[in-house]
């Protein structure tokens, strides 16, 4: 059985600013820095943030699955603002899922607004429908909201800095 779960998070910042937080290795750094107690700790095992990069995410206690997940970046498209990862070990695979992928897309919704679309794509044996109860976009939503808050705060701070007049030494 194949399926997907999707959730969207609105962001009051341009898509380019949001993508800067999601692209490459920046997302792993921000998750570890901003959300260690809610999302976990990300460690880059190999790679530079492009396709083939391998990341280990250790989840906080109480997260279903193996307590960690190793993911490989399978898509890293700066033009379309899309990043995809595939679970290669741990996470829901440890519970019996056949495959699990995460797609993160940043879409422009206006000049100063965007949306983070987080999609969980899965495959599970038809004989194991009970595993579907473990599926949730909760971690993806928490991550999107945390990153969105960070981006909006930084974006607004940068806008204020650009608007404030500079004082000359004689003033």
The boundaries of the domain holding residue 87 are 2-155
Give CA separation, 25 vs 12, 20, 58, 112, 164, in Å: 23, 10, 16, 24, 32
Asked whether residue 37 is assigned to any structural domain, the reply reads yes
83 annotated active-site: yes
13 occurs within a structural domain: yes
- pTM for the whole structure: 0.89
CB atoms within 10 A of CB 114: 25
Residue 7, number of CB atoms within 10 A of its CB = 15
Residue 166 in any domain: the answer is no
Q: Given the residues 83, 128, 161, 163, select the one marked as catalytic.
A: 83
Residue 164 covered by a domain:
no
In a domain, 168, yes or no: no
pLDDT one-digit tens code per residue, 6-22:
999 999 999 999 999 99
Q: Count the neighbouring beta carbons within 10 Å of the beta carbon of residue 113.
A: 15
**Any domain includes 106:** yes
Establish if 160 belongs to a structural domain: no
63 domain-assigned: yes
**What token pair was written down for 23?**
């692209």
Residue with the larger pLDDT of the pair 81 and 39: 81
Buried b (16+ CB within 10 A) or exposed e, 53-69: bbbbbbbeeebebbbbb
Q: What is the CATH number of the domain that holds 106?
A: 3.30.530.20
* pLDDT tens-digit map of 95-137: 999 999 999 999 999 999 999 999 999 999 999 999 999 999 9
Domain count, the chain: 1
Query: Of 37-46, 63-72, 92-101, 127-136, where does mean pLDDT reach its minimum?
Result: 63-72
């Amino acid at each position: 059985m194949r399926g997907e779960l999707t959730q969207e998070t609105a962001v009051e910042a341009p898509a380019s600013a949001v993508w800067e937080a999601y692209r490459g290795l920046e997302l792993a750094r921000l998750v570890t820095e901003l959300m260690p107690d809610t999302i976990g700790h990300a460690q880059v095992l190999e790679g530079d943030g492009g396709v083939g990069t391998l990341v280990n995410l250790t989840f906080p206690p109480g997260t279903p699955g193996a307590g960690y997940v190793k993911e490989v970046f399978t898509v890293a498209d700066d033009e379309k603002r899309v990043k995809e990862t595939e679970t290669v070990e741990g996470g829901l695979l440890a519970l019996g899922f056949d495959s699990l992928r995460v797609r993160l897309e940043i879409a422009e919704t206006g000049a100063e607004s965007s949306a983070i679309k987080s999609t969980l794509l899965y495959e599970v044996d038809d004989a194991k429908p009970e595993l579907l109860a473990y599926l949730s976009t909760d971690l993806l939503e928490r991550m999107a909201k945390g990153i969105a808050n960070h981006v909006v705060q930084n974006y607004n701070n940068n806008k204020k800095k650009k608007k404030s007049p500079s004082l000359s030494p004689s003033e």
